């Protein structure tokens, strides 16, 4: 496998994984919403959204840099 084929393979696999995360997040969001709705009502939307934003923020913060690079 040469460099071009490897890059194409990585790009396709990355795209496959990213598009697989969309239904996963949708399913988890609606599951959280339905589970919390019976307990707290309309505030379930806010709480379910907040819970799912935490992994996204953690993912974005990893781009800031490794602490050993900052020193």
- pLDDT tens digits, residue range 23-48? 888 898 999 999 999 999 889 999 99
Q: pTM surpassing 0.85?
A: no
What pLDDT shows up at residue 27? 92
In a domain, 32, yes or no: yes
What pLDDT shows up at residue 71? 46
Range of the domain at 71: 25-71
Q: Could you say which DSSP state residue 43 is in?
A: G
State the Cα–Cα distance between residues 71 and 68, nearest whole angstrom: 6
In a domain, 54, yes or no: yes
Number of other residues whose CB lies within 10 A of the CB of residue 65: 9
Q: What percent of the chain has pLDDT over 70?
A: 87
Average pLDDT of span 3-7:
85
On the question of pLDDT at 68 being above 70, the answer is: no
Number of domains in the chain: 1
Residues 6+ apart with CB under 8 A from 45: 33
């Amino acid at each position: 496998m040469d460099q071009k084929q490897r890059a194409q393979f990585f790009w396709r696999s990355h795209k496959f994984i990213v598009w697989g995360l969309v239904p996963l997040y949708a399913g988890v969001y609606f599951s959280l919403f339905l589970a919390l709705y019976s307990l707290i009502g309309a505030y379930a939307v806010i709480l379910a959204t907040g819970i799912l934003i935490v992994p996204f923020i953690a993912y974005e913060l990893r781009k800031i840099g490794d602490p050993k690079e900052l020193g």
